A and B are shown apart, each in its own frame.
Chain A
């Protein structure tokens, strides 16, 4: 049984209320941080913990906090990014629905560490129930003196606000989120300056994912060193994985980083294998924007070593044979799923969600979608496949924000690994509408390369 740090008490009835949360040891971290630690010590603990951003990029949180500019007389802000809209990712919503106080507790500690007197939780507009839950929880916390003026008599003031967004995927990009929070059109800003220097209202700002902020609570409770013991290598701690797709038990799982992918998919403790006794064809390991991998490369590296659920291990092999942990949106596809259709579906999403600010993404995402639609519906040409690769290459890296990359990677990787399926769609336009390509040899186990033992003649 893996260690649970965030979801330990998730099944306790009434854990969404302050009373039960407090009984289970809630708000200990606030007491400890505000009463016994200085802000810099809190930052130091988070640095020691090796916590990496849980929103997708995996940037070390403690490092991000220490980059925050601290000019005299200028307000600083902490903004929680709860604009979770990546297809396949639903961990933050789960956390906010069931243990809202974990997020609020984390927000208080993190705001204290950063010296922010006002903090915001920017929630995606579609998550109206979660907005209500958070507002209720904030009211409870405020009534109990955990928020507001002079918290716990330490002289630290904090106001926490929930801001509903308009439901745009692009507002999950931190600078677009700040624009939206300021009441403007949610277009990503051009960096530099980074938010740590000039963010919300031109003031230094830290934007963190819900899960990153919630993870601060166990770090402060147990100490950064203790947290760093969980996990593997530079991927410390636990991670919430939103498992979806053709799994026996889809859902949100808290795993210790370093869990083998095979165990995550097939063990009964986690996803319980592929539904209806089918075989695994492919996975998207970290939300729709990371490269898709065929089953054999999901479970093993190209050299036959088992792949683990961690930042480093999933990206082992680069984009040629690897993927990314991303935000932890794990989507499994069984042998009856059509990769072309799925790629089209993702491309359609990015086309719809592109903000339209910079040209390659605005025009390129629509182009990708139209070509993929044509392939999926049997009007494709062989040259379309290379066209897709070329267009995705021209989007990638040439845009203001990572949405362009996110739109390009799934297409490029699907063609890289499943080219024969795309070709089959062109060759069999009628058949491909009614049946699908099947599993082919995507799940053929990778031969373990035997390392040559060097003969030492001396």
Chain B
């Protein structure tokens, strides 16, 4: 085992193994300094480098060669060097470039969040809130495509796609058969299947989970509900598929399971890919062993009217000492 490398991101130093990317080093630190990632997916080999939202400034290359890197680099595909110093949110240059990237991602995006199933758990929506302008400077017709169904369970809504290639890598690496790729070039590029072939294999449903936007949606869940009205619960079952361990998140509305997804970690990446049987066919509580409510970050809209949110008792409202004691919890209640 080689020595750990010391890397400083926005003034916070962390020691990571050689070969770690800047993004993953930042994820070890956690918090606000983690660059957003729209295309990088730690479980998919070769992903990353495309969306350019994770760009950061390397102000010091390494201990040996302290020169800064001439351009902003994609943190997901740049490996750390010993003594490297990185600026993310402390650099106005990075923030400006990132808001430029977000603007580019949004110019051809239909902005149909009110009717999009992904709304509420959409990475692009989050980025838009954080970096986007209120008004677009793009005054032309947006690029449009026809919606197509790829398989009986998945719908492709190409208008919303940001061409992160995650689903292509998923189709390539998780599933056995590659029937799914990119057609055409430039801004006419589209995700498609091989001449209208349906994507048909046991793990195809995972392309829905990896999609950072609402381009690939679950047809069994389409227009059923807004995600923030549903309650996520971790559950498992004894899946008979050899590659699937049956660990999922169930999304409840009342007593009904509206949708089943893989479990996602704090960076929105699935922990383990699940098979289509678990995802599409098992939608009764009796199919599952319930574990516990899924932890949802306080910053997510899904947590806004949620059971995990602290509802202060009337007595707290009048007692300063109790308010002081419950300060953190009270801040959460006032956030939204």
Contacts and interface: CB of A to CB of B under 8 A. Distances in A.
Contacts of B210: none
A85 B52 CA distance: 26
B188 interface: yes
A365 interface: yes
Contacts of A366: 108, 186-187
A345 B154 CA distance: 40
Contacts of A360: 52, 100-101, 104
A416 interface: no
A48 interface: no
B198 interface: no
A359 B182 contact: no
Nearest to A394: B100
Contacts of A370: 140
B187 A354 contact: yes
Nearest to A400: B49
Interface string B68-105: 00011010010000000000000000000100110111
B73 to A, nearest CB: 10
B248 interface: no
A398 B140 CA distance: 23
Interface residues of B, number: 33
Contact of A355 (B49, B53, B77, B186): B186
Contact of A359 (B72, B101, B140): B101
B104 A354 contact: no
B135 interface: no
Contact of B50 (A170, A351, A352, A400): A400
B52 A185 contact: no
Contact of B188 (A185, A356, A359): A356
A294 interface: no
B187 A398 contact: no
Interface in B7-52: 48-52
A446 interface: no
Given A355-B186, A362-B189, A366-B187, A190 B97 contact: no
Given A363-B105, A370-B140, A394-B97, A356 B185 contact: yes
Given A351-B186, A356-B189, A394-B97, A363 B104 contact: yes
A366 B138 CA distance: 11
Interface string B149-188: 0000000000000110100000000000000011011111
7 contacts: A168-B185, A185-B182, A190-B48, A190-B77, A359-B104, A362-B163, A394-B103
Given A354-B187, A365-B187, 6 more contacts: A359-B50, A359-B162, A360-B52, A367-B140, A394-B103, A398-B101
Interface of A: 168, 170, 185, 190, 351-360, 362-367, 370, 387, 393-394, 397-400
